[in-house]
Amino acid sequence: MSHITRNLVMFVTVVFLLFGYTSLLYPQSQSFYSQRIDNYRDNYSKYYRYGNFDKILDNIKKEYAKNSNEDELVYLKIWEIKASFCDGKLQKAYKDTTELRRLTMDYKKILYHPPKSELILNCEKRDSCICQIFNFDEDLENLDALYDEDELKAHFFKLYIFIKKDKQDNDNYIIERKSKIKYKGEDEDVEFSVYLPEFEKEIDEEYEPGEIEYEYEYAKKNTFSQRKKTKYLHFSHEYEDGNYTIEPLLLPRDYEKYYFLLIDNHRYSFKFNFPDKSDKMVYIFLPKEKDGVTTKWDLHDWRDDTKISFLYPVDYLSAIEISIDGDTLKVLEETAKDNKIAYNPEPDDLPDEKWSNKIRYDRESNKREVGRVEFRIYNNETEANQHMPPGIEKIEFELTENYKGFQEEQKKIRNSKYALLGAIILAIVAMSLN
């Protein structure tokens, strides 16, 4: 056998072995994750059957801390939303549906449709959708309770708050931009509390786990058991064009008893008459000072005091390094990943006047392309309002030369220097010839 032939045989053998190894590796890897999903399913379904939703949430929190596999994170998020809803954490459940859309790129990867039982049953993406890869139980691993609008309205309603101009007038103030109400002369947000009726009904034992009524009854029971919901008068939700209200509270519906809204010792009550499925608009009044003229409240521009937001021109993404509370400086993407920072790499548009003229922007639209990174420094609004010690105390930024277009700029500078030097030399030569 010639030297060339031996080398060829060895090459083919190596390629074959490598191909065989990688072909075996994928199914093993897939099998590994399938086993993990099966373990989640077994444990969570047991907790779910007995109404132990807090145990599901505790376990998922631990799994998030040590897990980075995208398929698993999507699967865990579905269970987190379901358990949060059944546990009476209705607002969180709804907010997390937005996070689920983000994780799946609006259902364009990993999970190719909303997790509805009908779509799981009829999913045709056998080789790519995790509902098929991991054999979702369409009766259990769904979020039908949140997506069935008709059924949802029969059991729950959204509470909105508006401010009336006076007690005799039906008209209300138009709040034209995101705002929050503070006490006059103080840095303290105004609170409101919703007092819920007592829930006396027991969970019907005839409901099977996985039935939509089973989840509704648990969600109502666990929400009613809290008896009171306290929030701040933050008008951050655009109810309609140019009119903001509070972010609506999703609350269980009771046709027999009264609900009470308490603000600064002023009580507002309301109830529903069967078969009313409408949302509830509560109109409150501006409290007056002792003179009966000036109000005790001030309207301020709204900001999320639980977070710090940092905007940056998209061209500078790779040039930004961040350190949190004395950690080593790392690039933005890695810092966001390690610290679970809300990070949006997709650009937003900001008006031209927000940025210096030196920063590139689209002259046709008069907009800058910017990214956003958010650092959560408080767990909730109460901590922020009470000025408790923040979760993050120090954030350091460093702008390196690793931004888009840096090499091109350096090339232009060098070319300019060479052109200038050439011009000088030519001038000197011309002068010497004269």
Coil vs helix vs strand at 32:
helix
- Going from the C-alpha of 375 to that of each of 143, 152, 237, 335, the distances in angstroms are 29, 34, 22, 11
CA–CA distance, 48 with 44 (Å, rounded to integer) = 6
Q: What does the pLDDT look like over 163-180, one tens digit per residue?
A: 988 766 668 889 998 999
Domain spans, the chain = 3-147, 155-301, 307-403
Name 228's bridge partners: 195
End-to-end CA distance of the chain: 77
pLDDT of residue 342: 65
Q: For 40-43, which contacts have Cβ atoms below 8 Å and span 24 or more sequence positions?
A: 40/72, 40/75, 40/76, 40/79, 41/137, 41/141
pLDDT of residue 352: 52
pLDDT of residue 11: 44
Structure tokens given for 134: 């991991």
Residues of the chain with pLDDT under 70: 1-33, 167-170, 204-205, 290-293, 336-368, 404-410, 434
Note the residue count of the chain. 434
pLDDT of residue 12: 40
Query: Tokens 């609008």 sit at which residue?
Result: 149
